Structure 1
Amino acid sequence: MSASTRTRVLISGASIAGPALAHWLGRYGFEVTVVELAPALRGGGQNVDFRGPTHLTVLERMGVLEELRALDTGGSPITFVDQDGRRLLHLPADFAGGELEIPRGELARLLYRHSGSRAEYVFGDSVAALEQTPSGVRVAFRHGAPREFDLVIGADGLHSTVRRFAFGPEQRYVRHLGYYAATWQLPNDDGLPTDGTALNVPGRLMSVGADHRDPTRAGAFCLFASPELRYDRHDPGQQKALVRQAFAGLGWRVPDLLRSLDAAPELYFDSISRADVPGWSTGRIALLGDAACGATIGGMGTGTAVVAAYVLAGELALADGDHRAAFARYEELLRGYARGCQKGGDRTGPFLAPRTRVGLRLRDGLLNRRWVLDRMLALGKQVSSVELPDYRALLSAVG
C-alpha cells in the first residue's frame, strides 16, 4: 500500500481551491476530508475567468475542460454610464474575460461533483484549534468531535482560519488595497441584457446585468473606495447597511438595486486585499489559493488556485509520504507564478472606480481611443505562465 493511501488530509474550505485539491488527492488515493463553515455549497459570486496555457492545461488534465466550455458565458462586455444613463465608455467582452469565463457558482458545483465521490465533505463546521504532533495534526472543530490527520491544508480564503491558527494573526499577511466590493442576485424584472451596465462616480461603481444562464435573474456588483472598515464578516445585515451607506443619494438604477438587497438570498462582501505569506507551510500544515497568495479581484486568484491544487497534490503524491519535501517543491514551483498573477489585483479598484473626476475622465478618454483599447487588450493576453510537471507520467515512471 502506497504512502498516499495511508495519508489522511484535512482541507479547510469548499469554495474553489479546496474541491480542486480534493479532486486530485482523491485520484492519487489520499484519504480526504473537506470541512466548510457554510451550511451548504455556496453559489453566486462574480464570474471567474481562465486565461492562457497554464490554466487550460490543468483544466484539461483534470478532465473538466469540455464541461467548462459548455458553461462559458462568452465574456462580459460592460458599458459605463453617468447618473442620467448616458453612455460614457464601452469595454468589449474580451477586455476582462479570458479564454473561458464561468459563473463562480457553476464552477464550484462542478468541482464539488468531480471530487465528491473521492472525499468526505462536512458542511456547517470549521476548524477551532490545531495542534501539531510528531505523527500528525490534532484538529478541534466548532461542532464535530476532535480528529487527527496526517496533513492539514488551509484552502479557506483571504481570511483563512487555518492560517490564523498555524501562522499567526491576519494583519501580518493581508494588506487592504483601499476598496470594498459586493455582489448579489436579484429578479430581472426590467428585462436587462446580459451585457453589464455600470454607473461610475468618483470612488464608486455600481453595475447590473442579466444572468447568462437564467435571464429571469440578474446580478448586481458594486465597488467603492474606503479605508479599512470594522464589521462582522458573518453578519449580512451589517454588510448590506455598509453598501447602502456607500451608495446613498446616487441616481440611475442605484435606488432600485439598493432596495433589492433586502430580499437578496446571498451577499458577497469583502475588501479588495492581497495576502502575502512568506512561507506557505509550517510542519504538516500548508496554505493553498487565496490563503497563501490571494488578490480579491483581478489577480486571477481562481486560476492560480486551480493550478496550485494540481501542483500541491502532484508533489504530495510524488513525495512518498515526505510532506516537507512536497511542500517545499510546491512553493518553489509556484511562488513566482503566483506573484505575477497577483499584480493585477493591485490595479482593479483604481481602474474600476477612480477616486477623482479627473481620473474618471482620463480613463474614459483614453479607452475611448481605439488604439489605446487595442493596446490594453493585447497586454491583457500576456498572462503569467509556469512550466507544469506531468505528474501522471512521473508517477507512472516511478510506480
Structure 2
Amino acid sequence: MTRNGSTTVLVSGASVAGLTLASWLRRYGFTVTVVEKSAAPRTGGYPIDVRGTAVEVARRTGILPRLHKAHIESRRMTFLDAGGAAVAVLSPQVVAGGVEERDVELPRGTLTGILYETVRDEAEFVFDDSVEGLAERDGGVDVTFRSGTRRSFDLVIGADGLHSRTRELVFGPEQRFHRYLGYCFAIFTMPDRWGLSREVVMWNAPGRAAALYAVGDRDDLHGFLTVAHPEPPLPVRRDPVAMRELVTAAFAGDGWEIPAVLDAMRDASDGFLDTVSQIRMPRWSAGRVALVGDAAFAPSFLTGQGTSLALVGAYMLARSLAVHDDHATAFAAYERDVRRFVELNQALVGQGDAALFPATAEALERRNQRLRGLATAPPRAGRPAHTALALPDAAIQNTGDSPTTRQGAHPDAATRPRGSVAP
C-alpha cells in the first residue's frame, strides 16, 4: 500500500497488539491514530510472558534489552494440596514450557509502557475515547467516537481485546465467536502478608485453585482465584458483583489461607473477574476493517500465549500492509500467514482440561504425579507451538517472501533473523 504518509490507519486500543501495530505501521510510513478508552496509557497489571517467536518481534522492535531489564525472574512455583501441604516445588519455566534465559516475564503495564515509548511521538494518540460507530464507504471508513467526534480513515484495526467493540460493530455479537473453556476467574492486588518474594504459591482442590503471585520484592502481590464451571455463566458474565458471588460460593468452607484471599478479593479496588474464553473467528477482516490480538484470536491465559500472539500478529499485519498494494490482499495474506500459528497455540488447552486446574479429585492426583515427575526430569526445550512461525524479514525489498509455519520447529528457529532488519 501507499507508504508515504497518505494512508491513514485508526488503531482502536492502546494494547500490546495496538501499540506494536502502531509502532511498525509508523516505521513503514503510514499515518497512525490510536484511540484508547482509558485516560492514559495503562499501567500495572499482572505478569505476562513473551515467548518463542514473540521474543524475535521484541528484538526487531528494539525493545528486547528493556524487556530483559524488567524480567521478573520468578524463582519457584510451589503447589499445595487442599490442606496446605506442599505437593511440588518447581521452576516456573518448567511448568509453563518456557525457555530459561530466552523467554521473558514482566508486568503487563511495563510492556505496554515500553511499547508506548516507541511510538508516542510518531503517532496521534486520543485517550479517554473509543469507537462508537463505523460506516465503510468507497475509499475509507467513517468513524464516530464516543465523544461525538467524527473522522474518516483509510483503514481501521480493532486491537481492543477479548470484548472488542470493533468486532461487535463489524462482525456481530461476541457470542458468535466466544468459546468458553469451562472456568471463571478473578485477579486482584492484595497485601503480601506472607513475606513472599519472586515466587508463585498455588493451592488446589478439585475444581478450584488459588494463587499468590509475588512480583519482585514488593509489599503487595497478585491474588488469583479460578473455579471450574462446566456451563458458561451467561446471566452473570458481565456482572462483577454476581461473578464475585459465584467465585466466593465455590470456595465456601475451604481452609488454608482461602478466607483471607476471598476477603482481599472483596476489598480490592482493581479486581477483574471474567470467564476463561477464547475467540475463534472464520476471518479477521471485513472490507477496510481488520482485527488483531485478543480481538481476533484470544487464546486465553491458560495457554500463556496471549501476549505473544498479540506481538506476532501485530508485526505480521503491519508488514503485510506494507508489502501488498491493496488492503484486501494485505488482510488476506495476514490471515493466511498467521492463522496456523494461532490455531496451534489456541490448541494448547481444551474445554475443561486446563492442566493446572483439574476439575476432579482423580485428575488432580494425576496432575500432582506429573508435577512430582517434572521435579526430577531434565529441562524441556520449550513448546513447539511457541516457535511455530518463522518471521519474514522486516525489510520489504523482497515482496514475495512469506513466513512458514511448521509444527515441531526447533526452538531456536524463530529467533534466527532471516535477512535485513528494519531499524
- TM score, norm. by length of structure 1: 0.91
Q: Which deviates more, 187-196 or 125-134?
A: 187-196
Contact persistence 1:301–1:342 (CA under 8 A) = no
Instruction: Flag structure 1 segments of 5+ consecutive residues without an equivalent.
Output: none
Counting helix residues as a fraction of each chain, which structure ranks higher?
Answer: 1
Q: Which deviates more, 137-146 or 237-246?
A: 237-246
Aligned equivalents of 1:382, 1:274: Cα separation in 2: 17
Aligned equivalents of 2:267, 2:282: Cα separation in 1: 42
Residue aligning to 1:78: 77
Deviations 1:277-296 (A, max 9, x none): 11111110001011111111
Deviations 1:22-43 (A, max 9, x none): 1111222222111222333333
Residue aligning to 2:165: 161
Contact persistence 1:271–1:296 (CA under 8 A) = no
Residue aligning to 1:90: 89
Deviations 1:254-306 (A, max 9, x none): 11111122442312322211111111111100010111111111331211111
2:318 aligned residue (289, 303, 313) = 313
Please tell me the residue identity of whatever aligns with 2:16. Answer: I
- The Cα shift of 1:347 comes to 7.0
Residue aligning to 1:8: 8
Contact persistence 2:345–2:385 (CA under 8 A) = no
Q: Secondary structure at the match of 2:42?
A: coil
Residue 383 (structure 1) aligned with residue 386 (structure 2)? yes
Q: Secondary structure at the match of 1:43?
A: coil
Residue aligning to 2:226: 223
Aligned equivalents of 2:292, 2:120: Cα separation in 1: 19
Please tell me the residue identity of whatever aligns with 1:273. Answer: S
Alignment of 1:165-176 (within 5 A): 165-176=169-180
Computed over aligned residues only, the root mean square deviation of the Cα atoms, in angstroms, reads 2.5
2:189 aligned residue (185, 189, 209) = 185
Aligned equivalents of 1:61, 1:223: Cα separation in 2: 36
Q: Secondary structure at the match of 1:307?
A: helix
Q: Secondary structure at the match of 1:131?
A: strand
Contact persistence 2:344–2:385 (CA under 8 A) = no
Residues 372 and 164 of structure 1, relative CA distance in 2, 3 Å threshold: farther
Alignment of 1:96-111 (within 5 A): 96=96, 97-98=98-99, 99-111=103-115
Residues 11 and 345 of structure 1, relative CA distance in 2, 3 Å threshold: farther
Q: Secondary structure at the match of 1:26?
A: helix
Q: Which deviates more, 58-67 or 231-240?
A: 231-240
Residue aligning to 1:63: 62
Aligned equivalents of 1:113, 1:119: Cα separation in 2: 11
- The Cα shift of 1:15 comes to 1.9
- The Cα shift of 1:193 comes to 2.6
Residue aligning to 2:405: none
2:204 aligned residue (200, 205, 218) = 200
Residue 242 (structure 1) aligned with residue 241 (structure 2)? no
Q: Which deviates more, 365-374 or 55-64?
A: 365-374
Residue aligning to 2:327: 323
Contact persistence 1:131–1:138 (CA under 8 A) = yes
Residue aligning to 1:301: 306
- TM score, norm. by length of structure 2: 0.86
- The Cα shift of 1:177 comes to 0.8
Q: Secondary structure at the match of 1:224?
A: strand
The count of aligned residue pairs is: 393
Aligned equivalents of 2:226, 2:249: Cα separation in 1: 12
Deviations 1:226-280 (A, max 9, x none): 1212367676444433332332322111111111224423123222111111111
Alignment of 1:138-157 (within 5 A): 138-157=142-161
Contact persistence 1:337–1:385 (CA under 8 A) = yes
Contact persistence 1:79–1:198 (CA under 8 A) = yes
Residues 378 and 207 of structure 1, relative CA distance in 2, 3 Å threshold: same
Residues 382 and 233 of structure 1, relative CA distance in 2, 3 Å threshold: closer
Residues 372 and 140 of structure 1, relative CA distance in 2, 3 Å threshold: farther
Residues 155 and 370 of structure 1, relative CA distance in 2, 3 Å threshold: closer
Residue aligning to 1:24: 24
Aligned equivalents of 1:223, 1:4: Cα separation in 2: 49
Residue aligning to 1:210: 214
- The Cα shift of 1:359 comes to 0.9
Contact persistence 1:138–1:146 (CA under 8 A) = yes
- The Cα shift of 1:374 comes to 4.3
Q: Secondary structure at the match of 1:5?
A: coil
Residues 393 and 149 of structure 1, relative CA distance in 2, 3 Å threshold: closer
Please tell me the residue identity of whatever aligns with 2:40. Answer: A
1:392 aligned residue (373, 379, 395) = 395
Q: Which deviates more, 353-362 or 116-125?
A: 116-125
Aligned equivalents of 2:143, 2:269: Cα separation in 1: 32
Structure 1 stretches of 4+ moved >6 Å: none
Residues 349 and 264 of structure 1, relative CA distance in 2, 3 Å threshold: farther
Please tell me the residue identity of whatever aligns with 2:12. Answer: S
Aligned equivalents of 1:237, 1:11: Cα separation in 2: 32
Contact persistence 1:272–1:295 (CA under 8 A) = no
Please tell me the residue identity of whatever aligns with 1:147. Answer: R
Q: Secondary structure at the match of 2:390?
A: coil
Residues 55 and 219 of structure 1, relative CA distance in 2, 3 Å threshold: same
Aligned equivalents of 2:385, 2:141: Cα separation in 1: 41
